[in-house]
Chain A
């Protein structure tokens, strides 16, 4: 199973919005709505920020939102803050009931 495709890096200034894409296939992202996003700060475990394409766990700011179109999912962070600087990963369940991650996107807040 190939990894999902994410841009290696994105950047934005405080207050701006950025969008991170995650491209897969009809066997994973396009299959159903089991797409999730994680935020990982250096030296820490990943933290779930979006699940089921659009849902936010309790405690995750509503500045984080998710969407999907076809085989591509997206994470949008609006009103960028310095604390959002991290690496973001997408994941999806596949038709084989395995899971696949994207390669990760480093977000830099300028």
Chain B
């Protein structure tokens, strides 16, 4: 069965950076994109971007261009999200989600449990 295990909650000061990890199992990691989606407290889902797990190619949402970096390590089936220049507006739960083991690549299907990132001074 597909499992996504994310790194633990983090507390950061404004201006700092975060790096969240997402370890995948239960499917061929390089076959599907990995997406990152965040959700601020009480708010909706905000798509941040995807990484092609095979090639490492990326596509980022305009809102995060210049501040976000998505990478992966195929030797350990793990994807990473880095976000820099944090402000209090970046306080959110950050989810990784697979792009298709369940739906043959059609959509974002399996989701990780989320990583809470809190930014405050």
Contact = CB atoms under 8 A, between A and B. Distances in A.
Interface in A21-67: 34, 36, 38, 45-48, 51-52, 55, 57
A34 B59 contact: no
A93 B44 CA distance: 17
Interface residues of A, number: 25
Question: Which of B97, B107, B108, B112 is the most central at the interface, judged by chain A CB atoms within 10 Å of its CB?
Answer: B107
Contacts of A96: 59
Given A45-B95, A46-B111, A47-B111, A98 B103 contact: no
Interface of B: 35, 37, 44-47, 49-50, 59, 61-62, 95, 97, 102-103, 106-114
Contacts of A3: 44
B95 A1 contact: no
Contacts of A55: 103, 106
A51 B107 contact: yes
Contact of A97 (B37, B59, B103, B107): B59
Contact of B102 (A46, A48, A93, A102): A48
Nearest to A52: B106
Nearest to A6: B44
B45 A89 contact: yes
Contacts of A102: 44
A47 B103 CA distance: 13
A34 B97 CA distance: 16
B66 to A, nearest CB: 16
